[in-house]
Amino acid sequence: MKINILLPHKEKFDKKKLSSVSITVLNNFNHSNFKKQIRIFGKKVSEPATPYNFIGIKNPLNIFKSKNFNLAKKMCVLINKDTDNNQLIEIHNRPLLLNFILKNLKKKIPVNIFFHNNPLEMKGSKTLLEREDIVKNAHTIFCVSKYVKNKFLRGFNFMPNNIHVLHNGVEKKLKKLPSKTKEILFVGRLVEEKGIKLFIDSLENLADKLYDWRFCIVGSSHLGGNEKNSNFAKNCAKKFLKIGKQAYFTGYITHSEVQKLMRSASIVVVPSLWNEPYGLVVAEAMSNGAAVITTLSGGIPEIIGRNGIVIKNINQKKLEKAILTLANDNKILEKYQKLSWQNFEHTACVSSKKLDKHRSKIFTDYF
């Protein structure tokens, strides 16, 4: 029995460069009852997050060849050579690979697909015909939120019985609410849709009123490093640091370093201007007991519920008001920190158990 997990090529399953899909896969792996049966396929990295379960694949020599199709083909070759016929494949965020994989397998194996983003914006699932084909050919379809599931089902005149919501699981390692410092934190890619400019403009305007607070931005414009930061990201960092000693910018840091900052931060701001498919930063902030300010967008409301300040149609005036509400009133601040801490439900343990239950049923029913 084997479970073969295929990551998108852009994901770096390196313990120092993990991004959202890799974090989710790792969290579920750490709590799974199938650890010994799991093989994770992805781009070759120097320090795999799970060295004994990861199969790193080198890029094709032909620079014009698709790197994602190369990963899928190499995985299929290995599976075809394997004498174990009781196998399961899980494709993450690359619906375009589903039919390619099915055609390249020499044995009949169930294939699951996980949607971490809006299916209507992904190659292989943009059209209704493509999504109907996925329903027909995938064994199970997992969506990271009801928002993503509803996008997938747009245009359907029936409810498929093989599509499920599986919220991402976040590690909650702390036993009690950590002590907090006067710090306001932003974590995310430095791109316009994440609301980073709105965050900077608000704090620039509030700095004098929040003279005893510190402000921090964590992130870069590209996944896994600071080497290729865009001009937009560089300009944001430059403007932010002009606020003065209160402001500091870390650039990209490891996931474990992010968690340390979240443990001490009093407030985490997630001012998304686009529809977040899930809202991993919101979930991680809650798991660390930070008061959360965020927006009514995408899958975020499913994660935060009524346990944070959720802004509809966010703008600078609304964001400044929310920040001041928390920063100027300890009772309100502590209330939202406790709500985050006590009502956080999307733990890695819960998510992994749900996934394992589906896997067990597949192995029982299929083989």
Indicate if the pLDDT at residue 227 is higher than 90: no
Same domain assignment for residues 24 and 165: yes
Q: Is residue 174 part of a domain?
A: no
pLDDT at 224 over 90: no
- Residue pLDDT, tens place only, 99-150: 999 999 998 999 999 999 999 999 999 999 999 999 999 999 999 999 999 9
Q: Which two tokens stand for residue 343?
A: 């009502």
Helix (H) or strand (E) holding 197: helix 196-206
Closest-CA residue to 309 (of 287, 290, 328, 288): 290
Residue-wise pLDDT tens digits, 75-107: 999 999 999 989 999 999 999 999 999 999 998
Range of the structural domain that residue 61 is part of: 2-169+347-366
Q: Helices 20-30 and 348-366: crossing angle, nearest 10°?
A: 70
Residue 200 sits in the same domain as residue 81? no
Phi, psi at 22, each rounded to 5°? -65, -40
- The average confidence (pLDDT) of the chain is 94
Number of structural domains the chain divides into: 2
In our burial notation (b when 16+ CB lie closer than 10 A, e otherwise), range 20-34 reads bbbbbbbbbbebbeb
Residues 358 and 314 grouped into a single domain: no
Please give the DSSP secondary-structure letter assigned to residue 15.
T
Q: In this structure, what CATH number is given to the domain that contains residue 309?
A: 3.40.50.2000
Amino acid at site 147: Y
